[in-house]
Structures are given as structure tokens and as C-alpha cells.
Amino acid sequence: MSDSHDNGHEQVPSRQRRRFPGISSRAYEHPADRSALVALRKLSGFDTVFKALSGLLPERSLRLLFLSDSVRVSDRQFAHLNVMLRDACYILDLEKVPAMYVKQDPAPNAMCIGLDEPIIVVTTGLVELLDEEEMRAVVGHEVGHALSGHAVYRTILLFLTSLAVRVAWIPLGNVAIMAIVTALREWFRKSELSADRAGLLVGQDLQASMRGLMKIAGGNHLHEMNVDAFLEQAEEYEASGDLRDSVLKILNVLPRSHPFTTVRAAELKKWAASREYQRTMDGHYPRRDEDKDTSVRDSFRESASHYATHVRSSKDPLMKLVNDIAGGAGDLGDRMRRGFGGFAGSQPRPPKDGDGPAEGPGGPQGPEGPGSDGDDGSGGPRAPRDGSPRDGA
């Protein structure tokens, strides 16, 4: 499976899709993902350090494990996946086709790991869940990881996560490693948004990408689901609640390697409607041979601009607070005095006495205070002890 995509590519599907010769991964990378990768690639001796580190990582063991206990995709095994893999490499102009394995696991999942040569692994749960076009987007997603070099950092993340468990008994040792793991997870969540974009470039079918994410969230029940309603969940998730909910969102996402599926769907739809995506589809995109000339400063500036725009446009209560502080909002002191409830995403506080109608009985929080909306009075429901449900593809 390490041969060129030119061999045997006559089996590509008949549906015409645009190809992107020489495309750089910068064409689809999320700004935060892109700035981190550009900086890492510019570090002197970066490749040498990671090649040395590879001796400590269980990459050889992983390769042997998948070779011995999974099914390797080829023209004789899972041939339809083999065609999709070669097609994705052809569309994104990835010359060396990664090895791909199908692993018996009912949980729908996929990953791309490896230091020297990426390996793509998909579970049987994912293969059985998705139709052809949905699966094409997932395969494109994983090929996007390979093209971006994400497999290297994912392998390191897996290694450090395992190491953190082993040294948990050492005072402060686990804390230091988990700090690195947390930072890597934050970066990797952004890299998943990048790979979703790569999957769209490969499949070139936004509805298929949306369906795939819905199925990962709700199973194979498309007749019971609706894309528009699914995207509305993402809007409600971002805008609802107060600062307590903003904190809980952060706590819920910290253990995850993937963003939540509704968020991924909303981000992908937003990118599909952008000028950047349209220019890429029209053939105007960054080229791989220009990567060496990429400015780290420009990449960080673009990343900072993206986050500033996100803060300004976000409906999340915490992001609104950050924006208010930056803008010097006149009522900020009053809202701080009123506490967390003052930043609720619902209606603004009614005028004070003499300025308009008086508040109803019990004040703005209602007759029973903050615990009256169904929480336990401790500031909202607690995040699950074991993190979150298992991440999807």
C-alpha cells in the first residue's frame, strides 16, 4: 500500500470532481492549526529531534499490531475503501498512498498515526455506519491529516497520554505531562477542523459531510434527523446559558481530541460558504512548493485575526464578556456586581426603579434563586467524571 496513486487509479468513481495538483495543506488548515504547524516546521533541528524521539515511541509496535490483528485495505480486501483511498490521494495530490487498516470495533472511529509513514485506521463501526459518499469524506479527512503532517503529532499525543497514566504516581510528574497533553489536545481539536475541510475538498459534497457528522452523533437513523435542526443545536450550544455554562463547556471539551460534532458541522458549513473555499475550488490555492517561503509572523497574525473575529462574533457568554472588556462596555461593572447570572445569554436586565417597569416577584432570577431552573444549586450540572463520550472520526 506504499506505492504511488498512479498505479491502479483507473478505478476512480465516474462522478467528476476537481483535482488540486500540488495543493498545500495551508489551503484548508484552520488558522490556529496552520500557525502552530508553520512554527514547528520552521524550528531548527525539528526533524532531527522528532526522529530521535521516534525511538521512544511505540510506532513499530503499532504497525505490527495492525498488521497482525486488523485487515489491510487493498484491491483484494475492502476493495471499495482502497478505491476511495487512492482517489483521495489523487484529488489532494498525495503521491505516496498511506497504508490503511480496518479494525474490528463497534465504535465509529478513524485515525491517522505514524512518524515516518502515516497509517490510516478505520473501525468496522464506521464502515458499517456510513454510505459511500459519507465514507469518502472520512477517508479524505484522514488523507488530509497525512498531508498536513498531523500523524506525527497525533502519535506523540497518544504516547504522552499513555505516559501520563504510567507516571501518575510521581509527584508533579503527571502534572507536567498532562499540561503538554492538554495543549496538544487543544491544537489537535483545531487540526480536526482542518481535516474536515480536507474531507470536503475530496468528497466535494457538503450534504454528505453533514450526514456523516450527524450519524457519528446520532447513529444510523437519518430518517429521524435533519441537517438544519442539527446545525441549530450548534447555535443553541454556543449562545445558551451564562458564564457557568461557558466554564462547563471548557471543562467538557478538555479531555477530548475532537471538537463536538455539532460544532464541527457548523464550522464546516461556514467554511464551505467562505470565499477561501470558493477560491480553492476555482484553482486558486497555496502550493506545496511555496511552503518553505511561508512567514511564521504572517501565520500568527492570521491566527490572531481569526480569534479576534471569533470573539467579536461569538454568542457565547464568556466570549461576550471578553469582547465587552476589550470594548470598555459601560455596564460591565454592573454586570460583574450581579454575578454570573448577569452574563446570561437571555434578555438584558430590566431597567432600575424609576427607569421603567419594576421587576417581577423574586427579582431577575425568579423566586427560588439560581437553583430553580433544575440544577443542584452548585452552579449547573457537573462535567462527566470520565470526560466525554468516545470521539468519532
Residue 89 domain-assigned (yes or no) = yes
What percent of the chain has a predicted confidence (pLDDT) above 90? 39
Grid coordinates belonging to 259: 471538537
Confidence of residue 82 (pLDDT cuts 50, 70, 90): very high
| pLDDT at residue number 2 | 43
Confidence of residue 388 (pLDDT cuts 50, 70, 90): very low
Tens of pLDDT, residues 352-381: 555 544 444 444 444 344 344 444 444 444
Residue 364 domain-assigned (yes or no) = no
Q: What is the mean pLDDT of residues 114-137?
A: 93
Residue in this structure with the C-alpha cell 459534497, named with its chain if needed: 205
| 142 belongs to the catalytic site | yes
106 three-state secondary structure: coil
Q: How many domains does the chain have?
A: 1
345 three-state secondary structure: coil
**Identity of residue 303:** S
Residue 227 domain-assigned (yes or no) = no
Q: What is the mean pLDDT of residues 233-247?
A: 75
Query: What mean pLDDT, rounded, does the chain reach?
Result: 73
Q: Which one-letter DSSP state was computed for residue 219?
A: -
Tens of pLDDT, residues 202-212: 999 999 999 99
Statement: the pTM of the whole predicted model exceeds 0.95: no
Give the span between the Cα atoms of 154 and 145, in whole angstroms.
9
Torsion region of 23: left, alpha or beta (phi above 0 gives left; psi -120 to 50 gives alpha): beta
pLDDT over 60 (residue 15): yes
Give the span between the Cα atoms of 358 and 310, in whole angstroms.
36
Q: Which one-letter DSSP state was computed for residue 109?
A: -
Q: Which of 29, 59, 133, 142 is catalytic?
A: 142
Residue 383 domain-assigned (yes or no) = no
| pLDDT at residue number 314 | 55
Residue 48 domain-assigned (yes or no) = yes
Torsion sign over Cα 75, 77, 80, 85? negative
pLDDT over 60 (residue 122): yes
Confidence of residue 259 (pLDDT cuts 50, 70, 90): confident
Which has the higher per-residue pLDDT, 306 or 24? Answer: 24
Domain region containing 304: 9-217+261-315
Biggest CA pair distance of the chain: 80
Residue 31 domain-assigned (yes or no) = yes
Residue 342 domain-assigned (yes or no) = no
Residue 376 domain-assigned (yes or no) = no
What does each C-alpha distance from 332 to 2, 17, 133, 307, 339 come to in angstroms? 59, 51, 49, 22, 11
